[in-house]
Amino acid sequence: MRLTTLALATLLTACASAPAPHTVAAAPQPVDVPQVARPDGETAAWWYRAGAARAAGNGAMQGRARNVIIFLGDGMSLPTVAAARVLAGQRAGNPGEETMLAFEQFPNTALSRTYNTDYQTPDSAGTMTAIATGVKTRLGVIGIGPGNKRGDCAAVADNTLLSIIELGESAGLSTGVVTTTRLTHATPASVFAHGPDRNWEDDSYLPAAKAAAGCRDLAAQFVDFGFGDGIDVALAGGRAKFTPNTLADAADPKLKGMRKDGRNLVDEWKAKYADGTYVWNSAQLAQAANAPRVLGLFAPQHLPYTADRKADAQEPPLAEMTRAAIAHLQRNDKGFVLLVEGGRIDHAHHDGNARRALEETIAFSDAVQAADEATGDDDTLILVTADHAHTMFFAGYPKRGNPILDKVRGISGEDSSGSEYAVDKNGQPYTTLGYANGPGAPKAGEPRPDLDDIDTEAVDYLQQALVPLGAETHGGDDVGVWAKGPGADAVRGSVEENVLFHFLVQATPTLRERLCAAGTCNADGVPVELPKPADFKP
């Protein structure tokens, strides 16, 4: 269309008088932190200094956050995010591809490299330790540096790292841990415990020789937590790890605790914290709204999958636990540090079950939304990420709006065959989602099952896999990072996973000042030296 001179003038006048568009904030100013050489390899001190340098170089020191919330989608790979957004959209009656999960609307993004110091493809213990302490470390260890080999109890004291929850408590902030897994599982344990093996969740899993060598189980370490006035809110599963094997479970008398030492850690926690309230179901959690301190253990093991929740479920969903935790923590005028984990995304992937994994991801997004609504962008830094990826793939050429859990309606190559389903070289249909390995693979010598009459959207359906394994494995690919709030502008680029800790700490003055008070900061006030946990205890 051609514009006349008058029309063009009118258009230019309208543009000139229109409100100015939203201006983009100036990029945060970097701080130069010289890196240190690696004369002895990638030590804990080197990882910490390198992470601090990258965060400061991105401008994290300009942050003025009062509260920090870390959302950890365990195993939430980028294909998981993409598929979950499609499922959420389709369940709302839309094609799905255009949908955005709550955290995808955050303005700042990055990629995180997840490898452990000794493995290309990592586990949750080493990865969450990196996020929680600023130091990359080995696969399978909890809250300790890479100088400590897995299973070595003698070296723990010399390799113990300070977590962001411990730092927060030492700085006078309130702290919380929320998860759909056992409280003693790898991700949550990494913020309050220190040990050379993630599997030692209770004393029945801790070998006697290791206990004699000084190692302690993770549940006992939660009760013995010695920073500040203790963790204010912990909402999770795993109560069997805290009770003796002679005690019947509160919800199911047929089940008993798992501890062999006779200790009832729930009773010990209540005795230690006179202001504490212990709850084990959703109704009790609601009644504890005004309690100063809450420990909620809502299942003997992990909480049920979202897809398996019953109408009368006693276990609160992740969003409900998140809202409850924030309401408790907001009472502290100094601020708070909160970890929220959607832990069962990972478990469903290990089972080769995409539907449950995607539903857990949507529930995780709901929890992020709840936190965003309960807090303000002016004082709360929210960072969402995953600890590692999985091998689920999103493939084929399904048509726009094709049910994400169904078989591919579309094409297999660049040209359409004209049939309803895309088919492989053997003439069989296949699903959009699958796994590189796992329990969905055919047994030796058997062909791939014909999916024509199989409901691939059923809750128990296992996606087909290439390599047969008893459980699907993690993936080694990068994961996403999404952030908003004070200091979030620094969250950009491709970063090592341990840098996430430094983004959070440098953007929160109360945490920075506590580190500086312990002598870990340089002349510019950047925390660059590896802190010693003993310096942060009362």
Binding residues: 74, 185, 187, 341, 346, 350, 387-388, 474
Which tokens sit at 265?
């850690």
What residues pair up with 465 in beta bridges, in sequence order?
A: 435
Helix (H) or strand (E) holding 392: strand 392-394
Q: What is the tally of helices (H) and strands (E) in the chain?
A: 16, 17
The amino acid present at 247, given as its one-letter code, is L
Q: Is 371 helix (H, G, I), strand (E, B) or coil?
A: helix
CB 176 within 8 A of CB 168: no
Residue 36, burial from CB neighbour count under 10 angstroms (0-12, 13-18, 19+): middle
What residues are designated binding site for Zn(2+)?
A: 74, 346, 350, 387-388, 474
Q: Which of 134, 168, 132 is nearest to 43 (CA)?
A: 134
Q: How far apart are CA 484 and CA 164, in angstroms?
A: 19
Contacts of residue 504, defined as CB under 8 A and 6 or more positions apart, other chains included, come to: 65, 68, 70, 164, 381, 383, 487, 511
CB 436 within 8 A of CB 465: yes
Annotated catalytic sites, by residue?
124
Parallel/antiparallel/unpaired status of strands 293-297 and 433-438: unpaired
Q: Which of 436, 421, 344 is nearest to 390 (CA)?
A: 436
First to last CA, the chain: 75
Q: How is 290-305 classified by DSSP, letter by letter? A: T-SEEEEE-SSSSPPP
Please work out, in degrees rounded to the nearest 5, the angle formed at the alpha carbon of residue 14 by the alpha carbons of 8 and 16: 105
Contacts of residue 118, defined as CB under 8 A and 6 or more positions apart, other chains included, come to: 138, 139, 146
The amino acid present at 458, given as its one-letter code, is A
Enumerate the H helices of 39-189 as residue ranges. Answer: 44-57, 78-91, 124-133, 156-159, 164-170, 186-189
Q: Which residues of 202-235 are buried (b: 16+ CB within 10 A; e: fewer)?
A: bbebbeeebeeeebbbbbbbbbebebbebbbbbb
Q: How far apart are CA 137 and CA 115, in angstroms?
A: 9
CB 225 within 8 A of CB 188: no
Find the radius of gyration of the CA atoms of the chain: 25
